[in-house]
């Protein structure tokens, strides 16, 4: 018997394209098990658990891609080994892999390794984004308003004005706004 398994990590995603490919591969719609909004890194998933409970020797589990079964290399290898030990074959229609063949088992392990690497890489990028956001005090990582210019830039503009440059030219050279230069001049006069 051919069974299908489809998974998406978020509820915003749609499994329709995966289930269509599984149907094209000869899996009846009532034999397709689905997990929506569940990460492939989780070992236990309701749809996958239900699928595993009905499998018998000689059955095939058809997936769109191997990473739909999971992203953890350890879990993927354990699952593939368990199914192989039960006489169940994994078939990936997207990658042309069958685990009842030596080449297919090797390719499955290679794709699982790449999926785990991709997941780790995504986590690293997310953590870098979070660190940047914390640095700026925002969720997006973008500074609120214009970034403040250092006092050195304004000091440079004031020095240029003392040397005879106009307010506009001094502000342009120091890369600060003319209003910042004018406010700094007003503060100096008020302090004097």
pLDDT tens column, 138-151: 665 555 555 565 67
From the list 8, 7, 6, 75, the residue with the least C-alpha distance to 43 is 75
Does residue 157 or residue 150 have the better pLDDT? Answer: 157
Lowest mean pLDDT, pick from 33-42, 61-70, 139-148, 153-162: 139-148
Work out the number of other CB atoms within 10 angstroms of the CB of residue 20: 12
Q: How far apart are CA 55 and CA 53, in angstroms?
A: 6
Residue 179 banded pLDDT, cuts 50, 70, 90: confident
Lowest mean pLDDT, pick from 43-57, 64-78, 163-177: 64-78
From the list 101, 115, 113, 1, the residue with the least C-alpha distance to 51 is 1
Does residue 192 or residue 123 have the better pLDDT? Answer: 123
**pLDDT for residue 146:** 57
Q: How far apart are CA 122 and CA 112, in angstroms?
A: 15
Mention every residue, 6+ apart, whose C-beta is less than 8 A from residue 69.
Answer: 5, 7, 40, 48, 61, 63, 76, 79, 90
Choose the catalytic residue: 9, 41, 177, 180: 9
Q: In the annotation, is 9 catalytic?
A: yes
Does residue 70 or residue 164 have the better pLDDT? Answer: 164
**pLDDT for residue 147:** 57
**pLDDT for residue 150:** 65
87's torsion region: left (phi>0), alpha (psi -120 to 50) or beta? left
pLDDT digits (tens, 9 = 90+) for 88-100: 999 999 888 888 8
Mention every residue, 6+ apart, whose C-beta is less than 8 A from residue 59.
Answer: 1, 2, 3, 87, 88, 89
pLDDT digits (tens, 9 = 90+) for 103-122: 887 887 787 777 778 878 88
Q: To the nearest whole percent, how much of the chain has pLDDT over 90? A: 29
The yes-or-no verdict on residue 31 having pLDDT over 60 is: yes
Q: How far apart are CA 39 and CA 4, in angstroms?
A: 18
Q: How far apart are CA 11 and CA 35, in angstroms?
A: 10
């Amino acid at each position: 018997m051919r069974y299908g398994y489809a998974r998406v990590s978020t509820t915003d995603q749609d499994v329709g394209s995966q289930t269509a490919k599984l149907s094209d591969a000869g899996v009846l719609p009532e034999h397709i098990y689905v997990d929506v909004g569940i990460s492939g890194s989780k070992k236990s998933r309701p749809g996958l658990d239900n699928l595993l409970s009905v499998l018998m020797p000689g059955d095939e589990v058809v997936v769109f891609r191997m990473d739909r079964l999971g992203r953890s290399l350890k879990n993927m290898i354990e699952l593939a080994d368990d199914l192989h030990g039960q006489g169940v074959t994994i078939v990936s229609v997207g990658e042309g892999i069958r685990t009842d063949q030596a080449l297919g088992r090797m390719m499955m392990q290679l794709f699982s390794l790449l999926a785990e690497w991709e997941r780790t890489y995504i986590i690293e990028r997310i953590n870098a984004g979070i660190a940047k956001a914390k640095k700026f005090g925002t969720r997006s990582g973008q500074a609120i308003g214009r970034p403040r210019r250092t006092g050195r830039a304004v000091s440079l503009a004031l020095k240029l004005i003392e040397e005879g440059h106009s307010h506009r030219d001094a502000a342009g050279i120091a890369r600060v706004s003319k209003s910042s230069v004018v406010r700094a001049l007003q503060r100096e006069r008020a302090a004097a």
